[in-house]
Structure 1
Amino acid sequence: MSDFMENGSPTPLSLDDILDGDVDGLLDAPDKPKKVTSSDRLERAFLEVVEFRRTHGRVPSSETREIAERKLGARLDGILANDQKVEALKHLDEFGLLDATEPPESLDDLLEGGGLDDLLGDDGGVLDVSDLPVHRKPESPDSVAKRVKAEDFEQFEHLFKAKHAELADGTFQLVAFTGLDLIREGVFFVLGGVMCFVAEVGEDVDLVVGGKPKQKQRLRVVFENGTESRMYKQSLMTRMYEQQGQVLARTGVDTSEIFDADVESGHIYVLQSLSEDSAISGLRDLHKIGFSTTSVEQRIRNAESSPTYLMAPVRVVADYRLYNVKPSALEHLLHRVFSAARLDLTQIDRKGRDYDPSEWFIVPRDVVNRAVAMIISGEIVDYAYDPALQQLSPRR
């Protein structure tokens, strides 16, 4: 029963009385939500793979045409390629998904394993291609681009590893291919279950197709199996539609804005000097490696008047667009990696002042390409250039 004061009014309750009377906990402060860590996200991603194994009784495949399963399969592939992630997830691996399998030591061992016999038996209809899309016959032999071995594949291998890792941790996801506008330099696709990368987009070429003039662009498409194709842009679009191809997009970005989440940081450029000075022209593999937030063409204007460019015209041999990278850190990293190969030369500018150019290095072009790829994948921090071996070697 409530207490009353002398005038008959209820006695005001104290704060302690109010809190003690809150039997339903209405006044309890809500628990502060726990911050989700990268470890939590990794475990959550792996548990989705585990749940698929529990539900379907098999490991998800990264090569199936079923989008949801292919995403889980690619995620598992990315985890298996990273020993640290495997170790961190072992306590959740109730089906042995992370157990290392011993590779066959010879072709005989592979054949004795019975795996090929099971495949050729085809009880599950794996080899039944009756439901696959019918490929249209090309209009001319020139439109056919066969895959050949990519001789410089080591320059791209790191990019594929990085993208598989980003698929595994959820930074990127696979989304449906929606049109020709998505085919541009630097974009990754999945075509026929194989990841591919548009390394180059050529100039417009005027062709006559079906009796009508038409502009087309040749691409250089590199596949993660070590092959490449010089197909036309429109040909890649056709194959993407026919084979229900997918594009890698940053998670959380709408398909219509698929690249808007990436912020262009600038360009890594590689230059060669056109100097007629024998002290410079006689140096093989001399390259200037730098970073620019503006176009490279704008950056090298009046190069012949600047000691930065050795007081001579230069030729652009590579121009890499970069996204989501801190410019100052990138430039410092490049110079640190190639510090042992820096050109030791003093230039005199037009005012007679001494100048030591700091961005010229004696490094083969293919090594520069590999370094750029390793910067994008993040591996470069553990490497440095060895001038004696002319290659990037692990830091000691």
Structure 2
Amino acid sequence: MNTPDNNEPTTSIDAALDALFDSDIDGLLDAPEKPKKVTSSDRLERAFLEIVEYRREHGRNPSSTTREIAERKLGARLDGILANQEKIDALKHLDEFDLLAEPEAPSSLDELLEGDDLDLLADDTGILDVSSLPARKSPVDDFDTATRKKASDFENFEHLFKAKHAELASGDARLAPFPGLQRIEEGSFFVLGGVMLFIAEVGEAEYKKSTVRENRRERLRVIFENGTESSMYRQSLGIRMGEKDGQIVVPTSSESILADDVATGYVYVLQSLSDDPLIADVPDLYKIGFSRGPVEKRVARAEHEPTYLMAPVEIIASYRTYNLKTSALEHLLHRVFAAARLRVSQVGIDGRTYEPSEWFSVPLPIINQAIDLISSGDIVHYVYDTASRRLVERE
């Protein structure tokens, strides 16, 4: 008589389980991994990486004083990190843009004051007022004379000064008090110390760290009517204009320019130079648009952009706008000429197909009339009639 083996049931079960696990090639019986616990260090790194991503996308640090809520949140977060050395030490390995680097000390009092965006150094008590003290000649009293040099291409600007003086003499232009830093823009004329100057270029924004934050500044190319030029910063020119009661040259027909007016961009009219018959044969074809910056820069690469029909363009007209919401105006103007919109597709250099929406077959005098109606606010009462090719009042 055989004696039963007490280990046989256990062995059979183990074998069955082993066979079951071996057959689970998809891992259905695997135990889920226990989620890793998120530490305070992990949260700090994630928070900082959001700031790094903002810098990568926008090319500047987020500001803690802007009205943009998302940016202000990141800016305040960065300020908090910079105020805590332990956090700085913990995040240095992620700091690819030197966001945590200690800012350089200001090299001069002027630089310190320029970096005081929050007006923390304002002198409400008058204790720093030295107006009653004897005047002392300063090396910069003559408007940065030492930094000026002869303009090698002054012949390109001389006629502009003559034309502007003629406008002043005829009454078509006038002098107005310097309205503030925001009006120092390409194409503007100013008078300082009896000398007229022209803003020929505004350079790309530069960012320099001060003791409290990263400051934005732009270097200018300023042409003077005496044939010299300077490459001072916008802020430096603004300081001199304020100190010496500088003036801006404005059209007499325009409303008074106030310090709180905001230059919002340009209304422009373009004509295509395309040799494509589908475009060249369209009568009175013009692009009507808005640009926040100078139109010349906007259209510099027109032949590479579908919105300009992949061809060079000619600037027919350009009008400066103030205190206007350009996006709303653009929508309004396009709605007026909607019936005359060009219907065409363009293939961009990326291979994608685009449908430009700002080209219209409308006579130029009618476009000029529409722009005048925009300025007066009466454009809302008109519509473009394609049969008569003119603007008619809405019924």
| TM-score under structure 2 length normalisation | 0.38
Q: Which has the higher contact order (CA 8 A, sep 6+)?
A: 1
Answer with 1 or 2: which has the greater Rg: 2
